[in-house]
Every structure is written in structure tokens, then in C-alpha cells.
Amino acid sequence: MKKCIQHAITLALCAVGIAALAQTPPTAGQAKRFPQITLEQIAPEGQALAKEIIQISSVGLGGPYNIMFRSPVYADRMKKLLDYLRFNTSLPTRLNEFAILIQGYEWKSQVEWYAHYPLALKAGLPQSVADDLKQGIRPRNMAADEEVVYELCMTLMKSHEVSDALFNKAKKVLSDQQIVDLVAVSGTYVTVAMLLAIGQEMPPEGKPLPFPPH
């Protein structure tokens, strides 16, 4: 009984913290910081890239792409990086999406979580692991490789360094390339979260916010 009460209190405190830090939508009636770009507004040299993005993105040219296209060369380079990190990385998709969710949670990024939560579950990440993460508690019942991904990502975010013990633990389940790709996808999705934050980008209209602000 005592453990149940403590767990309930922990969840309540986490919920308060999540709400306080959640990326908030624009005030009602406020114009978007970066008006939604359309295919017609994109220069001819960017049309092929834009059409590619529309085909693969759950938010089309919205979300981070709406911000990225303000810097066309950057958008092109970033798209190539994202293609590698999402579709050609050495990490199993389950772990890759888990790493993205960790950054989405850390930044309370509405769009990042909205877009990648279903992808993580589809890739085989247990829903209980994702849901625990969203509640702000260390996920229970993680597989050994999921535990390593969680500990590496959280340690780098919080401590900005990795101990020998944790590095050696990671080496038991991940190759050198996988460790590098894990760090790369984590850092890239911090950038994505920052772009979303500066533009106050939100999920499509009518979709609930993963991290409701209060």
C-alpha cells in the first residue's frame, strides 16, 4: 500500500513538471511566427525535396520542415542527415525511435512526440516503456539494449559525460557504429526540437497535445 501511494505521488509530481515545461501553442488569434509554407511558395530548385518530404512526413511540410525551408540549403542537408538517421542507421528501428522519444520527452516537444510515438510502437518498443517515459519515470521492464539507450541518452543530457562503467555496459550490447549513430540521432533530434520550439509548431489541428500545458 505504501509503495502504491509513493508511486502515485511520484506520478503526480512528474505530471506537474511535465505541464510546466511543455512546449506551448501560440496564443489564440496570434499569427504563426513562421507562416505555414506551401509547395507553391517553394523555389523550383526546392520542389523535388518538398515533394519527397510530403511523401514521408506525418506532418507534411509542417512541423520542423516549415522552419527548415526558411534556409533552403540547410533544409536539403538536414533532410539527407535525417534520411540516414531514420532509414539507414545501424541502430535497430526500435532503439532509434526510443532515442528520438527520449529527446521528445526531454524537450516536451509536442510534434516530436506526436510523430514518433506511433513509429516507436510500430517498431516494437513496448508501449509500457514509452508511456513510463512520458510520465517522467524510468521505464520499467526495459530490455537490456533499451536500458543502455535510455541510460546513455539521459546521462549525456543531464551530466554531459559518460562514465567508463556505462560506456563498457553499452559496448556489451551496441557496436561502435551503433553508439555513434545513437549519439548522432539524439543530437539531431535536439536540433529538431529546438526548431519546433522557436516556431511554436504544434500537431495538426484537432489532434491532442501529448504534453498538455496548464
Would residue 5 be called left, alpha or beta, if left means φ above 0 and alpha means ψ between -120 and 50 degrees? alpha
CB 75 within 8 A of CB 49: yes
pLDDT at 92: 98
Structural domains counted in the chain: 1
The pLDDT confidence band at residue 106, using thresholds 50, 70 and 90, is very high
pLDDT at 20: 47
pLDDT tens, position by position, 127-185: 999 999 999 999 999 999 999 999 999 999 999 999 999 999 999 999 999 999 999 99
Identify the CA nearest to 114 among candidates 123, 104, 106: 104
* Domain assignment of residue 59, given as a range: 1-24+33-214
pLDDT tens, position by position, 46-79: 889 999 998 888 788 988 999 999 998 999 999 9
**Three cell numbers at 185?**
540521432
CA dist., res. 136 & res. 15, Å (int): 8
DSSP string, 36-104: PP-GGGS-GGGHHHHHHHHHH-TTTT-HHHHHHTTSHHHHHHHHHHHHIIIII-SS-HHHHHHHHHHHH
Is the pLDDT assigned to residue 83 strictly greater than 70? Answer: yes
Q: What is the CATH number of the domain that holds 17?
A: 1.20.1290.10
State percent of the chain over pLDDT 70. Answer: 90
Lowest mean pLDDT among 10-19, 29-38, 63-72, 133-142: 10-19
CA dist., res. 101 & res. 104, Å (int): 5
CA dist., res. 112 & res. 103, Å (int): 8
Identify the CA nearest to 16 among candidates 213, 194, 158, 196: 213
What letter represents residue 65's amino acid? Y
